[in-house]
């Protein structure tokens, strides 16, 4: 900077900063030798904070407004400079403007899959990505912890650190939260709020405020996604018979043979074979157990008897059609004559009715 710039700097009495960029967080007002005219005007706009630094030490912090740089507006700097009441000379100080607006649409994402234990799928690996927003909340702390003496500090200088912080904490939170994978995909808003609350205190330690974290997508490995797609497809099919009828009609309407028709016919043949194998033969009735029959004899339950023993009792007259019998599986006692297994026994012992007498004929 030449002599002319130096002289003009001493006479210029307006200190302000306007920014056309979208990524500048801190800007140091440049003056030759850091000389500022006593009584100069300082303009701090909305979404800005100004900090005066004297010999490397933070002095006064000013919010939005128009200031005349005098002892009453700069109490700390006045003390450090030992200004008297009639002080009028230029003074040396650094002025930093902090951009306190929100910086939005900053990207984050997991470089490597996060391993979690899922109650339904077991151990699964997932990836996640989204955006976040933040702003400077405490300019003094941000200068002390992050910025230092950088005269033009941008978002790019800290974005990697902030992104890595989100990814690391997100991985830990999701892995320990025991949230089912399918619930994560259905509740991005709630998950975003939960993660924001957990990570915000660490941003505050840098003088930043984490205003929001948005989870835009959580993706599973290809194999797990394919398995989910198959499960969803089977749920949408519903009634397999109707689905096969529909696929067959579609194949016939299109003409010729195609893969959908072949698959449908294959399902149909397999289904029919299963029905045939599982269907009991009509020619072979299920066997009737011939043991564990109990008989009421003289108001007492006797048994168990086999069918062969009961046959003998019928022949001896000890068992009649009205005798009550019972077998395991029956709800109540029942007359023997009403049970199919016994009806044949009583029919064999009942002779047919006597035919009517044939009238005799005289022999001539």
Mean pLDDT across the stretch 194-206?
91
User: What pLDDT shows up at residue 205?
Assistant: 94
In the chain, which segments carry CATH 3.30.479.30? Answer: 103-220
**Rounded to whole angstroms, how far apart are CA atoms 241 and 243?**
5
Does the reported pTM lie above 0.85? no
**Rounded to whole angstroms, how far apart are CA atoms 48 and 43?**
10
Give the dihedral sign, CA 121/122/123/128.
positive
**Rounded to whole angstroms, how far apart are CA atoms 16 and 5?**
17
**Rounded to whole angstroms, how far apart are CA atoms 221 and 225?**
6
- The conformation of residue 100, written as its DSSP 8-state character, comes to -
Per-residue pLDDT tens for 27-40? 998 876 667 887 88
Q: 43: closest CA among 9, 81, 69?
A: 69
Q: 155: closest CA among 129, 132, 173?
A: 132
Q: 136: closest CA among 203, 78, 61?
A: 203
Per CATH, the homologous superfamily of domain 103-220 is Band 7 domain (3.30.479.30)
Class of the CATH-defined domain 293-348: alpha beta
Per-residue pLDDT tens for 220-260? 777 777 777 776 666 656 555 666 666 666 666 555 555 55
What residues have CB less than 8 Å from 309, skipping those under 6 apart? none
In the chain, which segments carry CATH 3.30.1490? Answer: 293-348
User: What pLDDT shows up at residue 1?
Assistant: 47
Q: Which residue has the higher pLDDT, 316 or 245?
A: 316
Give the dihedral sign, CA 271/277/283/289.
negative
Residue indicated by tokens 């919010």: 63
Mean pLDDT across the stretch 288-298?
70
How much of the chain, in percent, has pLDDT values that exceed 70? 70
The DSSP secondary structure of 278-289, one letter per residue, reads HSPPTTSPPPPP
What does the CA dihedral 90, 139, 150, 34 come to, rounded to 10 degrees?
0
User: What pLDDT shows up at residue 279?
Assistant: 59
Per-residue pLDDT tens for 42-80? 899 999 999 988 877 888 888 999 888 776 667 666 665
Per-residue pLDDT tens for 114-133? 888 877 777 788 888 999 99
What residues have CB less than 8 Å from 150, skipping those under 6 apart? 26, 157
């Amino acid at each position: 900077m030449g002599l002319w710039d130096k002289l003009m700097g001493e006479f210029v009495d307006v200190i302000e900063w306007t920014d056309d960029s979208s990524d500048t967080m801190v800007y140091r007002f440049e003056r030759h030798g850091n000389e500022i005219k006593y009584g100069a005007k300082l303009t701090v706009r909305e979404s800005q904070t100004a900090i005066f630094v004297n010999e490397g030490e933070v002095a006064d912090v000013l919010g939005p407004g128009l200031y005349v740089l005098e002892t009453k507006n700069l109490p700390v700097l006045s003390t450090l400079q030992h200004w008297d009441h009639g002080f009028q000379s230029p003074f040396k100080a650094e002025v930093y403007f902090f951009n306190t607006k929100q910086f939005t649409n900053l990207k984050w994402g997991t470089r490597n899959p996060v391993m979690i234990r899922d109650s339904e799928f077991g151990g699964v690996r997932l990836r996640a990505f989204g955006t976040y927003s933040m702003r400077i909340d405490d300019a003094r702390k941000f200068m002390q912890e992050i910025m230092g003496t950088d005269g033009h500090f941008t978002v790019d200088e800290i974005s990697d650190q902030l992104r890595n912080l989100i990814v690391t904490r997100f991985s830990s939170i999701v892995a320990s939260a025991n949230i089912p994978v399918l619930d994560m995909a259905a509740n991005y808003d709630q998950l975003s709020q939960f993660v924001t609350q957990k990570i915000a205190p660490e941003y505050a330690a840098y003088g930043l405020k984490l205003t929001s974290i948005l989870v835009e997508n959580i993706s599973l490995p290809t194999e797990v996604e394919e398995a989910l797609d198959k499960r969803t497809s089977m749920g949408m099919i519903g009634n397999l018979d109707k689905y096969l009828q529909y696929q067959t009609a579609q194949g016939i309407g299109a003409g010729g043979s195609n893969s959908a028709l072949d698959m449908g016919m294959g399902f149909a043949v397999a289904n029919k074979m299963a029905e045939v194998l599982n269907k009991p033969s009509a020619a072979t009735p299920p066997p009737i157990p011939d043991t564990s029959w109990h008989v009421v004899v003289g108001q007492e339950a006797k048994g168990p008897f086999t069918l062969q023993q009961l046959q003998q009792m019928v022949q001896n007259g000890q068992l009649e059609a009205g005798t009550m019998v019972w077998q395991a599986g029956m709800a109540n006692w029942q007359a023997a004559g009403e049970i199919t297994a016994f009806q044949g026994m009583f029919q064999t012992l009942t002779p047919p009715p006597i035919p009517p007498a044939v009238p005799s004929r005289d022999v001539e």
